[in-house]
Every structure is written in structure tokens, then in C-alpha cells.
């Protein structure tokens, strides 16, 4: 039996939003055009698209809205897909790579449109710096910036040499990099809560503390069974991502839950903050297990780093994340930490999202592989559009649907631990 959490993870995000009354759990039987399982960016954006198109929508979240990865991530909004265009062109051909780039740009536009249209103030800040932790990556990064301008008409990425980068991120640990003026960062829990309000304003019904236990097909419809109720729906979107368990084993074998961790310091002085990131950009690096960081509105350093591939978090989370932080900012190794937390995201073997229609009326959108601030919402929207008859975006992703992890659902964990540990080791060796 899944335990229902009535509170958010003990994150800086949860501590910096107003305490909201819980939405009531679903009780009894209801009927809807669409049932959505999962109250993160994927489910909430799908709910908005469907409700605005006049469909009746019931969304259920087993904990609180934004309780999953969407309410506790690094808040970094990246350009492009999780894999770069060079890889996508090789893997899928030029046409598909171009469409995927266009979708990623549409994803950013959708997010900005919804923030603006629904008046969601989620601390949006422009600019994202990418830092190369190996000297040989610098030329590659600069060449990639040129390629984006030349082949994709995207000229917001500018090169930074070693001295410029050190001045921009307050550490000499990196060799050079780029700044993307079309990317940025935000407060993800404020975004999730704003999207939930917008979905309700458009007519969707949201329930918290409601765990979907099983799906039942009957008479061309799908029943989503919960502890105390049932939704009789025309279609269902499974939007549980890394937290989905037991509802769709075939998709779960394609989406691996991985844990990632973040800390925030106590607020820094303006002088210290200006020394660290004077331009207030988000920063991420070139490690396979990425380090990412940024300053919050109230000038805390929010730093993410370290992954684990087993259920449960490391026992001393503070020491675990701090050890990664001190690789970048040794001077902050003993800085007072205000919050530390972990979360679970879904990754796929190809690092492309997993969008599938697994049975008549049953859609899945998951596996955004650390790129979900832009892509999860967009894929939720794409799944909703598919339900409304516009399958263009959904079909492109569905054709690239990632294969199962070796070992399938049962044995993927030990195999993944080995593979990921090898890549993490490579970060340190060469």
C-alpha cells in the first residue's frame, strides 16, 4: 500500500511558498472525458490544454500537487532536448532532429505563455551558463553554439573563455563554456501551484491524497480505481513519471527512477552573491552526473549534485551533497545549509521522453531525463492534443519511444547501478 504524504519534501521551495489547504481526496464514483494520474508539470499542463478545449478533466495526485520532481527540481529551463542536435541528427536523421529542436523551442514558448497568461510569478530569471569540466570539451561547446546559430537560427548561445567563465560563476574549476540567453531558471513549486490554479480556473477538477491503484477497461472506457473512489473516463493520461508504480509495467520498464539531490545555503550577503554569480544565471556543467546551481531570489546558493540508483536516499544527505558542492566551491564547504532534499526523476535509455499509447484510451508521458522543466509540460500538452485529435507532436515522440532497460522492470536496477557508476567514474578519470 502506497503511503500518502500530506506534506511536501523538506525543501527550500516548500518553505518559500504559502501553506495551502489540501484539495479534497476523490470520494465515490465520478465520470469525466479524461482522467489524469499525477499532479506534476506533465499532468497539470495536460489538464489545462484539455479543460481549455472544453473537456471534463479529473486529475488525481497521491500526495500534494507538485509533490514529485516538479515541485523540488533544480528549476533550470534548458534549450533543446536532453541530447544535443549533433546526436539527434545522427540518431534520427535531419528532419526529425529539426522537429525535435522546434518542439523544444515550442516547449519554452508554452511555458512562458502560461506563466504570462495565468500571471504565475515563479521567480523567472533569464540566462543559463554551461561550464566545461574538461578542457577538451570547450572547443566542442563553442562549435555547438555556432552550429545552433548556423543550422537552427538560434543565436542566443555565446562563448565564454576560461577567464570570462570564472568571473561569471565565481570559481576557477572550469575551463570555458557558453551562456544561453534563451534559457533560465525558476521556482518550480510556485510554477506547479500556479499551473494547478490555472487548470482549476479552466474547469478541471483536482484531487490530492488520491492514489490510483489500477485501471480497468470496459465498454470502450477506462476506469481508474482509487482507494475511496473511481473515475470512469474516456481516456487516461499516466503522468506519474519516476513515481509511477504498478499501473503500467511495460512503460515502467522503459523509465528508470533515479534519485538526485539538492541543498540550499542560508541567504548570502549581496557581496558574496555578486562574487558567485553576478549575472544571476543558472549554471550546469558537463559531468555525466551533472552539477547544477543558481542563486534563489533571496540569494541562497541552490546546488544540485549526486545521484543514487536505489530506493531510499543516502542516510547523511547533507554531507553527501556538500561533498559535491565543495568540488565546485571549496570556500563554501562549511557554509551553513538551510535545506537539503532529494527527489526522483524518470530517465530513459535514449534520454528522449517516453510518450506512448499503451491501450485504447491510455496515454503515457514520462522519462524526461532531467529536462522536464521544459519538456514535461510540453509532452503533457502534446498528449492532451493527441486526445483532442491533433497527434502531430505526440506521434513524433511515440515513434522514438525508448526501448526497455536491459533486464526489464525486475532487473533494471542492478544493471543500471553498474552502468551509471561506470559513467560517474568516467567524470572523475578523464
Ligand X SMILES: Cc1cc2nc3c(=O)[nH]c(=O)nc-3n(C[C@H](O)[C@H](O)[C@H](O)COP(=O)(O)OP(=O)(O)OC[C@H]3O[C@@H](n4cnc5c(N)ncnc54)[C@H](O)[C@@H]3O)c2cc1C
Interface residues toward ligand X, by CB under 6 A: 37-43, 60-63, 67-70, 72-76, 78, 211-212, 239-244, 247, 260, 262, 292, 304, 343-345, 366, 368, 370-374, 376
As measured in angstroms, the least distance from the Cβ of 304 to ligand X is: 5
Q: CB 119 → ligand X: shortest distance, Å? A: 21
CB 34 within 8 A of CB 56: yes
Listing DSSP states for 298-310 in one string gives T--EEEEEEEE-S
| Cβ closest to ligand X, residue 139 vs residue 319 | 319
Do 258 and 405 contact (CB within 8 A), yes or no? no
How many Å apart are CA 65 and CA 71, to the nearest integer?
8
Taking the complex as a whole, how short is the minimal distance between the CB of residue 245 and ligand X, in angstroms?
7
Nearest CB to ligand X, comparing residues 177 and 240: 240
Residue written as grid cell 506534476: 40
Q: Minimum Å distance from CB 94 to ligand X?
A: 25
Pick the closer one to ligand X by CB: 355 or 366: 366
- DSSP 8-state class, residue 46: H
What is the number of helices (H) and of strands (E) in the chain?
A: 13, 17
CB of 308 to ligand X, least distance (A): 11
Q: How far is the CB of 132 from ligand X (least distance, A)?
A: 19
Residue 103 in grid coordinates: 518542439
CB of 41 to ligand X, least distance (A): 4
Closest residue to ligand X, judged by C-beta, is 372
* CB of 134 vs ligand X, minimal distance in Å: 22
Alpha helices in 41-123 (DSSP H): 41-52, 85-92, 94-117
Nearest-angstrom CA–CA distance, 156 and 164: 17
Query: Cα–Cα distance between 88 and 367 in angstroms, integer?
Result: 17
Cβ atoms of 403 and 352 closer than 8 Å: no
DSSP secondary structure letter of residue 16: T
Q: Which has the closest alpha carbon to 58: 232, 227, 228?
A: 232
Please state, in angstroms and rounded to a whole number, the distance separating the CA atoms of residues 293 and 383.
31
**Closer CB to ligand X, 268 or 282, in the complex:** 282
- Closer by beta carbon to ligand X, 213 or else 419: 213
Residue closer to ligand X (CB basis): 36 or 142: 36
Q: Please say which residue, 74 or 142, places its beta carbon nearer to ligand X.
A: 74
Contact call for residues 235 and 365 (beta carbons, < 8 A): no
Q: Which is nearer to ligand X, 134 or 351 (CB)?
A: 351
Name which of 63 and 125 has its Cβ closer to ligand X: 63
Output the CA angle 223-20-247, nearest 5 degrees: 25
Packing angle between helix 94-117 and helix 392-399, nearest 10 degrees? 130
H or E segment and range at residue 251: helix 249-252
- Identify the helix (H) or strand (E) that includes residue 430: none
Instruction: Output the smallest distance, CB 269 to ligand X, in A.
Output: 25
As measured in angstroms, the least distance from the Cβ of 294 to ligand X is 9
Cell numbers standing for residue 101: 529542436
C-alpha–C-alpha distance, residues 213 and 44, integer Å: 20
CB-nearer residue toward ligand X: 154 or 303: 303
Amino acid at each position: 500500500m502506497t503511503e500518502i504524504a500530506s506534506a511536501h519534501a523538506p525543501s527550500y521551495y516548500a518553505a518559500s511558498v504559502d501553506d495551502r489547504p489540501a484539495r479534497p481526496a476523490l470520494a465515490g464514483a465520478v465520470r469525466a472525458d479524461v482522467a489524469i494520474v499525477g499532479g506534476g508539470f506533465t499532468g497539470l499542463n495536460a489538464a489545462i490544454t484539455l479543460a481549455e478545449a472544453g473537456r471534463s478533466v479529473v486529475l488525481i495526485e497521491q500526495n500534494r500537487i507538485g509533490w514529485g520532481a516538479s515541485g523540488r527540481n533544480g528549476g533550470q529551463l534548458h534549450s533543446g532536448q536532453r541530447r544535443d542536435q549533433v546526436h539527434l541528427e545522427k540518431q534520427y536523421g535531419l528532419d526529425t532532429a529539426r522537429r525535435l529542436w522546434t518542439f523544444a523551442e515550442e516547449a519554452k514558448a508554452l511555458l512562458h505563455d502560461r506563466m504570462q497568461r495565468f500571471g504565475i510569478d515563479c521567480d523567472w530569471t533569464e540566462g543559463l551558463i554551461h561550464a566545461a569540466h574538461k578542457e577538451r570539451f570547450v572547443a566542442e561547446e563553442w562549435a555547438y553554439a555556432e552550429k545552433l546559430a548556423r543550422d537552427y537560427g538560434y543565436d542566443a548561445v555565446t562563448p565564454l573563455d576560461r577567464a570570462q567563465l570564472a568571473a561569471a560563476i565565481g570559481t576557477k574549476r572550469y575551463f570555458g563554456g557558453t551562456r544561453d540567453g534563451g534559457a533560465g531558471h525558476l521556482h518550480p513549486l510556485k510554477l506547479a501551484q500556479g499551473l494547478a490554479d490555472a487548470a482549476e480556473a479552466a474547469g478541471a477538477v483536482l484531487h490530492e491524497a488520491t492514489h490510483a491503484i489500477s485501471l480497468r477497461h470496459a465498454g470502450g472506457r477506462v476506469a481508474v480505481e482509487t482507494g475511496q473512489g473511481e473515475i470512469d473516463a474516456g481516456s487516461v493520461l499516466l503522468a506519474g513519471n519516476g513515481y509511477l508504480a504498478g499501473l503500467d509495467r511495460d512503460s515502467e520498464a522503459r523509465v528508470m527512477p533515479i534519485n538526485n539531490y539538492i541543498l540550499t545555503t542560508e541567504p548570502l550577503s549581496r557581496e558574496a552573491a555578486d562574487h558567485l554569480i553576478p549575472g544571476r544565471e543558472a549554471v550546469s556543467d558537463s559531468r555525466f552526473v551533472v552539477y547544477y546551481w543558481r542563486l534563489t531570489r533571496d540569494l541562497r546558493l541552490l546546488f544540485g549534485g549526486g545521484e543514487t540508483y536505489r530506493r531510499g536516499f543516502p542516510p547523511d544527505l547533507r554531507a553527501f551533497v556538500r561533498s559535491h558542492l565543495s568540488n565546485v566551491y571549496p570556500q563554501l564547504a562549511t557554509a551553513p545549509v538551510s535545506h537539503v532534499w532529494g527527489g526522483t526523476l524518470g530517465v530513459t535509455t535514449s534520454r528522449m521522453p517516453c510518450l506512448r499509447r499503451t491501450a485504447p484510451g491510455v496515454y503515457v508521458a514520462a522519462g524526461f531525463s532531467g529536462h522536464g522543466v521544459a519538456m514535461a509540460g510540453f509532452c503533457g500538452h502534446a498528449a492532451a492534443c493527441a486526445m483532442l485529435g491533433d497527434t502531430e507532436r505526440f506521434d513524433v515522440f511515440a515513434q522514438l519511444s525508448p526501448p526497455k532497460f536491459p533486464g526489464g522492470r525486475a532487473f533494471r536496477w542492478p544493471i543500471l547501478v553498474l552502468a551509471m557508476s561506470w559513467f560517474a567514474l568516467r567524470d572523475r578519470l578523464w
